Amino acid sequence: MSSIRERLHGPGTPTGVGLGLRAELLAAVHAGEAAGKLAFLEISPENYMHRGGRVVRLFEEIAAQIPIITHGLMMSLGSLEPFADPYFADLRAFLARHGRHARWHSDHLCFSSDQGAILHDLLPLPLDEPTALRVAGRIREAQDRLERPLAVENISYYLPMGEAQLSEAEFTSLVCAEADCGLLLDVNNIYVNSKNFGFDVREMLAAYPIDRVVQLHVAGHTRWDRFEIILDDHGATVEPTVHELMQWVVERTGPVPVLLERDKKIPPLGELLDEVARLQASYDQALARRSHQPIGAAHVG
């Protein structure tokens, strides 16, 4: 039986390094400054749904030129409340227009709503089997509503949600297996979590279901002194360790889309494209190593 990556990746699936399309970058990307330098752009549909005007026009013209992969923010897969029909109807219509390059849509393994209020943040879930099974059920429902496969992203989190019975990798593995969904593996999130909770990042990464990876995220992070945590704010360049983690995954998956996330202190596009190029070089090295030797070890060396 083919892996989910084989099922979801097709001839038109962009692979290599792409960039998150942020409002600050729209004009420069529209002007062609990224032409030929990006494998794809990632966008959050919620930033363009329920919206018209110049920003949407720029996005649609960009989308006609550069492959787009969609990554949502507001599905709240772990919420205790039912899904909202209007949101799914809007999202389904959006994906019908803009979801042709990737066969999947993705969102986060988190919850974002409470008693009807939407908090616009990614709140962590209890890492236990009942939660994993409940969330898997919601993923299956969401896939049915969208008539499209989903990939779920592992999040950064800053506090344990009760007494954890599973590691984040075990929890994610169980969710993905029960939902038969893809994994958008954010290696910076695992790194940030390892710093905030003191586990070995490479051991945790190796425990993730790499066979389900359809896409990667990489990003930078900063220290939040007030709360004494490393914050996954996507506000810095990607650290060398995160490059290595990305490479370890790519050596095992082969070609996948790898997204550079930058959401804070966004530098000029040229500087971001330089970072994309460095990531692309790391990615290409990993693919070259993959083609030259068998990969079997469970450890990230």
Partner 1 sequence: MSAERIQSALARIARDSALRDRFEQAPDATLAELGLDARERAGMLSASPQRLLAYHQMVHGRLFKAIRTFIGGAADRLGHDRLRADVDAWIADPGPKTPYFLEIPAEFLAWAQPRWEADSSLAPWVAELAAHQVLIRTVRNDPREIGEPTGKGLELDGPVVCNGTVRVVRYRWAVHRLPKRLGPEQEPAHEPAIVIAYRGPDQQPSFIDIKPRSAHMLERLLAGASLREALFSACEAMGETLDDAILSVTAVTLADLFERHVLLGGAA
Residues at the contact surface with partner 1, assessed by CB under 8 A? 46-47, 49-57, 74, 78, 80, 84, 87, 111, 113-121, 123-126, 128, 130-131, 134, 158-165, 196-197, 224, 226-229
Q: Which is nearer to partner 1, 120 or 299 (CB)?
A: 120
Shortest CB 155 distance to partner 1, Å: 12
Question: Which residue's CB is nearer to partner 1, number 50 or number 299?
Answer: 50
- Taking the CA atoms of the chain, what radius of gyration do you get in angstroms? 18
**Closest CB 274 distance from partner 1, rounded Å:** 29
CB of 180 to partner 1, least distance (A): 22
The smaller minimum CB distance to partner 1, of residues 132 and 256, is found at 132
**CB-CB contact of 216 with 256 (8 Å):** yes
**The residue to which tokens 């090295």 are assigned:** 285
Phi and psi dihedrals of 170, rounded to 5?
-65, -45
Between 170 and 275, whose beta carbon lies closer to partner 1? Answer: 170
Q: Where are the alpha helices (DSSP H) in the chain?
A: 4-8, 26-30, 54-63, 85-98, 129-146, 168-179, 187-197, 201-206, 240-253, 269-292
As measured in angstroms, the least distance from the Cβ of 27 to partner 1 is: 13
With respect to partner 1, which residue has the nearer C-beta, 55 or 277? Answer: 55
CA distance 157 to 190: 9
Torsion angle defined by CA atoms of residues 201, 205, 207 and 213, in that order, rounded to the nearest 10 degrees: 170
Question: Which strands, in side-by-side order, build the sheet including 257-261?
Answer: 68-70, 41-43, 16-20, 257-261, 213-219, 182-186, 150-153, 105-108
Q: How wide is the angle at C-alpha 156 spanned by C-alphas 170 and 141, nearest 5°? A: 60
**C-beta of 133 vs 288, nearer to partner 1:** 133
CA distance 22 to 85: 27
Minimum gap (Å) between residue 14 Cβ and partner 1 = 26
- Give least dist CB 81 to partner 1, A: 11
Measured from the CB atom, the residue of 13 and 156 that comes closer to partner 1 is 156
What's phi and psi for 228, nearest 5 deg? 55, 50
Minimum CB–partner distance for residue 197 and partner 1 (Å):
7
